[in-house]
Amino acid sequence: MPKKYKFVCSLGFADAFGQTLLWLILIVFTLGLAIPFFIYFFLKLIINSTEIIEVLNSDENQMTIMKESNQDAGSQVNNSLII
């Protein structure tokens, strides 16, 4: 039986909102020159906070995997940084 995977994003609303607010201020001060950099860094933020998790048949096993992946999220994000 083939394994199933899903994407789990651990990016919170406050993180996305704070990043967007900061970049909007930079866009205004640079008269729009920061727009391409905003797009790049915002997509980088989303990708770096997304994990691929194997989905198991049992809901109990799936919750265990999610708890374990949340504990290791910092090390996984550090290993998958986009430069």
**Which string of DSSP letters, residue by residue, matches 3-30?**
-EEEEEE---HHHHHHHHHHHHHHHHHT
Q: Report the DSSP beta bridge partners of residue 78.
A: none
Under DSSP, the state recorded for 56 is P
Domain housing 33: 4-79
pLDDT at 6 over 70: yes
Q: How many domains does the chain have?
A: 1
pLDDT at 47 over 60: yes
Do 45 and 11 meet the contact criterion of CB atoms below 8 Å apart? yes
pLDDT at 13 over 50: yes
How far apart are alpha carbons 71 and 69 in whole angstroms? 5
Q: Over the chain, what is the mean pLDDT?
A: 81
Q: Assign 3 a pLDDT band (cuts: 50, 70, 90).
A: confident
pLDDT at 50 over 90: yes
